[in-house]
Amino acid sequence: MNAPETRVYEFGPFRLNPAEGVLLREGREIPLTPKAYEILLCLLQHPGHILDKEALMQAVWPDTFVEEGNLKVNISALRKALGDTVEGGTFIDTIPRRGYRFVAPVREMDAVPSRLSAAEPVQVTLERRKFERRVTEEEEIVEAPEPAVAAAPAVPAALPPARRAGLWWAVAGIAVIALALLMFLAIPAIRSPKPSRGAVVRVTYTGGRLQAFDEQDQLAWSHQFEEPIEAPRTTNHNLLFADLAGDGNREMIVVVAFQQAAGVYPPVNTIASFSPRGELLWSYQPQMSLSFGGREYKGPWVVRDVLTSTDPQHRGVWVAYSHHTWWPSFLVHINAQGLAERRFVNSGHITTLASVTNSLGSFILAGALNNEYDGAAALAILRDDQPFAASPQSPATQFWCDQCSEDRPFRYYLFPRSELNRLEVQGYNPIDSINPAGGQILVMTNELPKSGAVGYRGVYALNSHFDLTEASFTDSYWARHDQLHKEGRLDHSAVDCPEHKHSAVRVWDPEKGWRESDIVASGSK
Ligand SMILES: [Zn+2]
C-alpha cells in the first residue's frame, strides 16, 4: 500500500530500493521486520535530519497508537541488522529525548523505471484551458483549484461554525471568489528545454524541480516550483496519464509533496495536471476541515491513491486523502478544469481505489479501514455520480461526521480482522488491492500489514451485483496459522479453525442497514 518509489537509497555497503521493498548488502538480502524496514526508509528519506519520535511513529504506525517502546525495539533491531553498535551507531544516531538521525552519507539515485507504459506518440496541440465553473447540485461541494503554483501550505479558510448547509455554502462562496481570482492568474512560464518527441513515462523530484522523462529516458520537460518538492510517500500512485479534457491529448497527473521544514512530517501534498508539453493546467490542495463527534480535524491531508476516469460523463481524477495522523479520510473528484468536489468521507483511512462499470452503472470502489468497527477493512461502493456521502457510523460516537451529508454509499462492506491479525498485529487489516476482472471483483486485505510480500491475505470476491461470493485466506495465511498452532500460540489447527466456517463479513446498504453478509453461490443472481 506504500508508494512505488522512484528512488534508490545507498549507504555504506547497503542498497534499499523501495520499489522492491528489500534491503540488500552487497547484493544479499538483509532480513528486516516490516516496521524496521519502514523506519529505515523514513530515516533514509531525511538523511542528516532529526526525526522526532512522534513523527516517526506517525509515519510507521499511521493508524494505531503504539508505545514508544515499539520504536526503540525496532530501532535496535535495525541497528543490529546494519551492524551498528548500540551506543552512538555509525548509521543511526539517537538524539536523547527527541528522536533519531541517519548520520551516514546517503546516495539517492533514480531507480530505473520498472514499467514503461505502452504510450502512443502524442500529437501536441497546445491550447490553454479555460477554467469554468459548472453549476453543481445543491449538496455538492465545490472547491476551487489552487492557484497554479500551490507551493505554500494552504491557509485554512475561516469558516463559520457549523450549521450543516452553512459550511458548504461558505466553501462554495470562497470557491467562487477564488475562481474569479484564478481567471486573472497567469499560468507560470514553463522552463522547458527542447521538448522531446516521446511521451513522458516517469518524473523525478529534485529540489523544486519536477522533471519529466520519455521512453528513451530523455528529458521531455521540467517545471520549477517555488519550494522544494519530494516524491510522495503515502500514495499508491503518483503519476497517471489520461485524456481528461477529451481533446485527444493525455494530461499528466502527478502528486507532488512540498517539504515543510526539514524533517517535518508530512509534506504538503498537491495534485497537479500538466499538458503533454509540460504546461501546468491546474493544481489542487484540499482545504478541508472535518468534524467528527465534535472534534475538528484539519490537514495536512496526504494522498493515498489516485484514479483517473475518462468516461465522457465523468472525466476527471479521483483522489483519496487521509489525515496525516488521525483516521479521517475523504475522496474528491476533480474535473478536467481542476474543479474539485468532495464525494465521500470515511471514518478510517482510504487505502486504495478502483473503478467498476457493470449492468448496475459506473462505480468507484474505495478500499479502506473503519476505525469504529475494530479497524476492520472496509469497502465503500459509490456510484460515480453520487452526491457527497459519508460512511455508515453510529450516531453520537467520535466516528460520526458532524456536518457531512446524510447520503451514504451504494453499499459498504466490513471485512473483520482475521484471527492472525488480531493475534500478531496491533490495529487493522487494510484493503490493499481491488481487482475487477472477469465479471468479478477480487478484494484483498493485508492481514499482517506492511508485510505485503509475505502474502497473508484475506481474499473476498464479489459478483457483478456486488454480492459476496467468496471469503477466504491465502495458503501462506494458513501456513502461518499452522506454525502458530505448533508454537502453542493458537489452540486449534487450521483444519479446526472457526474462521473456515464463518466469514462474519458485514454489509450495509440504504434499504436494509447493517446485516451479516451471506456468501452467495458464484454466478448466482
Ligand atoms: Zn484459527
What DSSP line would sit under 298-313, residue for residue? Answer: ---EEEEEEEEE--TT
Ligand 1 center–CA 471 separation, angstroms: 14
Asked if the structure places residue 23 within a domain, the reply is: yes
pTM of the model: 0.64
Ligand 1 center–CA 493 separation, angstroms: 7
- pLDDT for res 172: 53
Asked if the structure places residue 18 within a domain, the reply is: yes
**Burial group, residue 286, by CB count within 10 angstroms (0-12, 13-18, 19+):** buried
The count of residues in the chain is 525
Could you tell me the three cell numbers for 358?
A: 457493470
Ligand 1 center–CA 444 separation, angstroms: 19
Ligand 1 center–CA 491 separation, angstroms: 8
Ligand 1 center–CA 450 separation, angstroms: 21
Ligand 1 center–CA 499 separation, angstroms: 6
- Buried b or exposed e, range 394-427, using 16+ CB within 10 angstroms: eeeeebbbebbbeebbbbbbbbbbbbbbeeebeb
Instruction: Report d(CA 95, CA 287) in Å as an integer.
Output: 34
CATH of the domain at 98: 1.10.10.10
Ligand 1 center–CA 520 separation, angstroms: 23
Ligand 1 center–CA 420 separation, angstroms: 8
Name residue 223's beta-bridge partners: 210
Give residue 39's domain range. 7-108
Asked if the structure places residue 48 within a domain, the reply is: yes
Asked if the structure places residue 87 within a domain, the reply is: yes
Ligand 1 center–CA 332 separation, angstroms: 39
Q: Where are the beta strands (DSSP E) in 359-456?
A: 361-370, 376-383, 389-390, 411-415, 431-437, 440-446
Ligand 1 center–CA 63 separation, angstroms: 25
Average confidence (pLDDT) per 10 residues, the chain, 525 residues:
60 80 78 86 81 84 79 86 60 81 72 33 27 30 38 31 41 52 40 57 92 91 92 90 90 91 78 94 92 90 92 89 92 94 96 93 95 94 93 95 91 95 84 87 84 71 93 88 93 88 85 91 56
Ligand 1 center–CA 435 separation, angstroms: 27
- pLDDT for res 139: 31
The alpha carbon of 219 is separated from its chain's Cα centroid by a whole number of angstroms, namely 28
Could you tell me the three cell numbers for 135?
A: 453549476
Asked if the structure places residue 187 within a domain, the reply is: no
Asked if the structure places residue 385 within a domain, the reply is: no
Ligand 1 center–CA 492 separation, angstroms: 6
Ligand 1 center–CA 136 separation, angstroms: 50
Asked if the structure places residue 58 within a domain, the reply is: yes
Going 364 to 370 to 373 to 374, the CA torsion angle's sign is: positive
Ligand 1 center–CA 425 separation, angstroms: 15
Ligand 1 center–CA 20 separation, angstroms: 31
Q: Which of 148, 120, 164 has the alpha carbon at shortest distance from 276?
A: 120
Ligand 1 center–CA 374 separation, angstroms: 18
Give the number of domains in the chain. 1
Asked if the structure places residue 73 within a domain, the reply is: yes
Ligand 1 center–CA 433 separation, angstroms: 24
Ligand 1 center–CA 482 separation, angstroms: 9
Residue with cell 517555488: 226
Ligand 1 center–CA 424 separation, angstroms: 13
Ligand 1 center–CA 418 separation, angstroms: 9
